[in-house]
Amino acid sequence: MNSRNLDLHKLNSITKYPSILTYHASAEKGQLKPLTTDSFEGETEIIVTEKIDGAGCRIILLQDGFFIGSREELLTHSGELLFNPPQGIVEGLRAAATELHERYAPKDDGIKAIFVEFYGGKVTATSKQYTNGDIHKTSWRMFDAFNLSREIFAKLMASQVEDIASWRDHGGQP
């Protein structure tokens, strides 16, 4: 499948990271309420982690190129199909995306999506905490990934965007 001929709205929906439930309900401006969203009753082990304060991003590998996206939208294609430079994401991830594509690009018309947290530089108000105040230094950490076979990818690309979103939000992404 030629990446220049893809329906970008569908590709964007297929590769968005599903929403993650939080333990506390959210209030305005990202503040947390004392109200909890889950009791975790019956769980034998709960692992709590702290998320880096950065920007959730994705690198999408196809046989003939890659896309870099933020959490909500595609920002660029390896062949400069589109370009949207918010928060320095494209500049900060282009070298990594190029290397990942060279090493791990699908050998067929399947797709691989790599989810990362991009941080440092001027990404967020607290970014300087990660780079000793150097506003030109950025980095990223992978937190998840998935592969789709060419058959599943083709089936999803033939679906409606609403059906793709439902697939993603109801556990369809591997």
The residues spanned by each domain of the chain are 3-169
Nearest to 114 by CA among 52, 53, 57: 57
Beta carbons within 10 angstroms of residue 120's beta carbon: 23
Q: What residue has token string 């499948």?
A: 1
* pLDDT at residue number 145: 95
More confidently predicted of 94 and 130: 94
Average pLDDT value for the chain: 86
Mean pLDDT of the 33-42 span? 73
Rounded to whole angstroms, the Cα distance separating 168 from 164 reads 6
- Give the pLDDT confidence of 66-110 residue by residue, as tens digits: 999 999 999 988 877 556 566 788 888 999 999 999 999 999 989
* Residue pair 68/94 in contact by the 8 Å Cβ criterion: yes
Produce one character per residue of 40-77: b if its CB has 16 or more CB atoms within 10 Å, e if not: eeeeeeeeeeeebebbbbbbbbbbebbbbbbeeebbbb
Mean pLDDT of the 36-53 span? 76
